[in-house]
Structure 1
Amino acid sequence: MAQPEDSEEARPWREGDGARPTVWTWPLTDPPALWVRRNGGWRLAAVAARQDWSDSRTAYQVLIDTDGTTSKSHRTFWWPHEGLRFAHRSAAEPTTEAGRGGEPPRPPRRVKLA
């Protein structure tokens, strides 16, 4: 049986792509995970975010060790693809609300004291 191709990286969103993608995040303490095919092998990657693009495409941003050195970086991959498989889900529901998922909260407004 032939091995699937390496997963396909998604390029960043650009103004000409239409509306900004809707970004879904999970708590950093309980992210879902994907198996990602890179450099001919499968690597476990924590999902940082899911992007739902206006043209109906979906991309997953993951934190992954791409070369086996244990140095991790964020990469974004198109879904569905033979080079991506779900490893496990999160017990938490994803959210688009800033500060409620894996996205940092917005800083408080600075108020000038008299």
Structure 2
Amino acid sequence: MRDLPDPGPWDEPEQAPPWRPEHGEKPRYRYWPQGHRPALQALVDGRWRTLQVHSRIDYPDGRVAYQGEIELPVEGRPAEHHHRAYWWPQPGRLRVAYGTDIAPT
């Protein structure tokens, strides 16, 4: 069984699980300040949706995830904001929407 947050009913890119002590060494989190954040597009249920990225997560084994907020559809209601951390890269599932002028710290 994978250690993931509730994936919900969407077909979306693979999520990075929240770090737990049993996973070993902590990943490094780096953040972009408001007004300088990049964005990715995630293919969710066949439609590209924008993930407003606020942090990059670098794992000790070399993997990278980007964490942010994305609007996902909810049947019969307006789309809701959800927090997601997606593994990078995922060709055909994630792409750059726009970059930023500064590096995360």
**What secondary structure, in the 3-state scheme, does the structure 2 residue paired with 1:86 have?**
strand
**Residues 45-56 of structure 1 aligned to structure 2 (within 5 Å):** 45-56=51-62
| Residue 97 (structure 2) aligns with | 87
Q: How does 1:1-114 map to 2 (within 5 A)?
A: 6-67=12-73, 69-82=78-91, 83-95=93-105
% same residue: 37
Relative to its length, the structure with more strand (as a share) is 2
Is contact 1:27-1:92 (8 Å) kept? Answer: no
**C-alpha distance in 2, partners of 1:20/1:73?**
23
Q: Does the residue aligned with 1:12 lie in a helix, a strand or coil?
A: coil
Aligned residues: 91
Q: Which runs of 5+ in 1 are unaligned?
A: 96-114
Offset at residue 16 of structure 1 (A): 2.0
Task: Give the partner amino acid of 1:73.
Answer: H
User: CA contact under 8 A between 1:39 and 1:67: conserved in structure 2?
Assistant: no
Q: 3-state DSSP class of the match of 2:22?
A: helix
**Cα distance, 1:88 vs. partner?**
0.8
Query: Structure 1-normalised TM-score?
Result: 0.72
Judging changes above 3 Å, is the alpha-carbon distance between structure 1 residues 92 and 70 closer, same or farther for their aligned structure 2 residues? farther
Normalised TM-score (structure 2): 0.78
Amino acid at match of 1:81: Q
Moved over 4 A (4+): none
The letter for the 1-side match of 2:97 is A
